[in-house]
Amino acid sequence: MYFVLPLLQLATLACASQIPFMRNELSSDGTTLRLSALSNEHFTVLEHPEFPSHSVRIKKSSSEFCDPSVASYTGWIDTSPARHLFFYFFESRGNPEKDDVIFWTNGGPGGSSALGLFMELGPCRMVDGNTTKVNPYSWNENANIFFIDQPIGVGFSYADYGESVSTTEEAAQDIVAFMTIFFETFSKFKGRGFHLAGESYAGRYLPVYAGAIYDHNKRLEASGVEPIINLQSVMIGNGYTDLATMIPSYYDVLCTPASVDPPFDIGACIKIKTALPRCQKWFKESCLDIFDVISCRAAVSFCSELTGGSMAASGLNPYDISKHCDDYEDTLCYPISNYITEYLNRPETREILGIPRELSNLTFSSINMELNHAFNAGLDQARVQTKFYLENLLHRGVRVLIYVGSYDGVCNWVGNNRMVDSLEWQGSASFAPQRLRPWSLIKGQEETSPSGLIKNTGNLTFLTIEAAGHMVPYDKPAESLEMVKRWLRREDF
């Protein structure tokens, strides 16, 4: 969760901790640390000479946290100047010594990945503001998985002196440093398949992060050093990747039967249809052909008011247009998000996570709207065509999965389908002309019991999940887990 509709207007902290920390407890070979050696009483600090401005604090969580059947850890990625990115890490329920590693981030921009953890694909799900239950459809069934609050200022991530970032490219460097330090320290993960996954604005984040990791690996290879991170794939759910193809798709999902019976009245649809050519022309001329900050900002504002603003005013749930929403401002249409906020602000929970008492004024919220506005004001989503990152990753053998719930309005399947069809890479000629075909949760029942539609060529797969909204693992947990299992095993759908 979530991509926040851009037109909606929806203290300095110390680093000192009541919880002591100690530096790298090394294994017998003197070079690496065992996860099992970590304490749940103090943080261990991890460092790497290649990243002198970064370190990682990590501790084991209490066995009562989330899912007692797996080991879990929390901590911060600390950077200089004083910025601190919070993360959760859960070992696989299957074979943690051999299974791949998934890195998950939510979108926003400014959305906490605690929403992915406690609402969607994590090992547990909220029951109410005090209680969680084990999620049998968690993606850690066969993978080790990170959930990270990023960029700085999201969730339990914080800055000592008000530092911030407002572009995805800037945020990418912290991710490269974090994964390098983690994999180098816990060497059992070296060579494991590594997959970047996320939803919504992660459609902007993940291609950039994957590009930064790939380029870092190539620099290591050029200097004769074996890369530490074995980047295998990018998995983007209901992604907000390319404005040029997403903007006109709002007409399709609101005014045609592309997802559900057209939810907008005819008058509203004529207004959108009439203004779309101006929106597209203005956006192309001011944001793509050249990048004129003032004119591009005006174009984005006009297009967003035309599409996202119209959807918000309709009373629909923008994340599932088969439903109406009674409380967008307070719950973003999902009351469970308030349960997560209540749970993570409980003193007992914060103690389990290792949030020090000095950070008592660090109140958890599901989305940081100041960061959201900063990214939008900086035109992060418009100044670079993120799909170019996907094209370059595909050229270099990185697998890409784009999956979309068919009922999503804000990052809908029509726009994502157009985006993947527009990618220019060595498989374009065979991918784009393909017709979508059914796939099923149960193999062999594609025609009688389809779970969605799919097309794929080589390293690129586009897939829909029928009757799911923006948060696919929340709406269709069994289908989402089966999708991930097949993807990790490189099975046909």
Q: 226-247, pLDDT tens digit by residue? A: 888 999 999 999 999 999 999 9
Phi, psi of 55 (to 5 degrees): -145, 170
Kindly tell me if the per-residue pLDDT of 194 is higher than 70: yes
Distance of alpha carbon 328 from alpha carbon 326, whole angstroms: 6
- Between CA 470 and CA 302 the distance in angstroms is 24
Total structural domains in the chain?
1
Q: Which residues of 44-71 are buried (b: 16+ CB within 10 A; e: fewer)?
A: bbbbbeebeebbbbbbbbeeebbbeebb
- β-pairing, 230-237 vs 124-126, is unpaired
Q: What is the pLDDT of residue 433?
A: 95
Instruction: Give the 3-state secondary structure of residue 23.
Output: strand
- 55, 43 contact by CB (below 8 A): no
- Whether the per-residue pLDDT at 26 is higher than 70: the answer is no
Residue 16 in this model has a pLDDT that exceeds 70? no
More confident residue, 204 or 47: 204
Q: Which of 61, 286, 470, 480 is catalytic?
A: 470
Pairing, β 54-60 against β 72-79: antiparallel
Among candidate residues 408, 440, 451, 480, the one labeled active-site is 408
In order of 63, 134, 156, 205, 264, the CA distances from 40 in angstroms are 9, 21, 18, 31, 53
**Paired tokens of 286:** 């001011």
pLDDT of residue 439: 97
How far apart, in whole angstroms, are the C-alpha atoms of residue 55 and residue 62? 23
The whole-number pLDDT of residue 218 equals: 94
What is the rounded distance in angstroms from the CA atom of residue 147 to the CA atom of residue 143?
Answer: 13
List pLDDT tens digits, range 288-311: 999 999 999 999 999 988 877 677
Mean pLDDT, residues 369-390:
90
Which CATH number does the domain housing residue 188 bear? Answer: 3.40.50.1820
470 is catalytic: yes
What count of other Cβ atoms lies within 10 Å of the Cβ of residue 225? Answer: 11
Look up residue 130 and give its amino acid. N
User: What does the pLDDT read at residue 20?
Assistant: 38
Can you list the alpha helix ranges (DSSP code H) found in 237-286?
Answer: 243-255, 266-283
- Contact present, 45 and 84 (Cβ < 8 Å): no
pLDDT at 115: 96
Give the pLDDT mean for 124-138: 96
State the residue for tokens 């089966």.
Answer: 482
Burial class (CB in 10 A: 0-12, 13-18, 19+), 466: middle
Q: State how far the Cα of 146 lies from the Cα of 87, in Å rounded to an integer.
A: 7
| Residue 330 appears among annotated catalytic residues | no
pLDDT score for 311: 75
Instruction: Determine the Cα–Cα distance for residues 215 and 229; give it in Å rounded to an integer.
Output: 11
* Residue 114 and residue 331 in contact, taking contact as beta carbons nearer than 8 Å: no
Catalytic residue among 55, 200, 314, 451: 200
- In angstroms, the Cα distances linking 382 to 270, 286, 288, 377, 379 are 26, 10, 8, 10, 5
Distance separating alpha carbons of residues 322 and 311, to the nearest angstrom: 13
Angle at which helices 293-304 and 243-255 pack, to 10 degrees?
Answer: 20
Lowest mean pLDDT among 12-16, 118-122, 290-294, 329-333: 12-16
pLDDT at 1: 54
Write the DSSP symbol of residue 36: G
Which range among 170-174, 438-442, 466-470 shows the weakest confidence by mean pLDDT? 170-174
197 vs 161: which has the higher pLDDT: 197
Burial of 433 (0-12, 13-18, 19+ CB in 10 A): exposed
| Percentage of residues in the chain having pLDDT higher than 70 | 93
Whether 259 shows a pLDDT value over 90: the answer reads yes
Confidence of residue 2 (pLDDT cuts 50, 70, 90): low
| Residue 81 confidence (pLDDT) | 64
Q: What is the average pLDDT score of the chain?
A: 89
Contact by Cβ (8 Å): 68, 90: no
CB 118 within 8 A of CB 128: no
In angstroms, how far is the first alpha carbon of the chain from the final one? 25
Distance CA 317, CA 469 (A): 10
484 close to 99: Cβ distance less than 8 angstroms: no
Distance between CA atoms of 29 and 285, rounded to whole angstroms? 59
Q: What is the mean pLDDT of residues 409-422?
A: 96
> What domain range includes position 214?
1-493
Known active-site residue 187: no
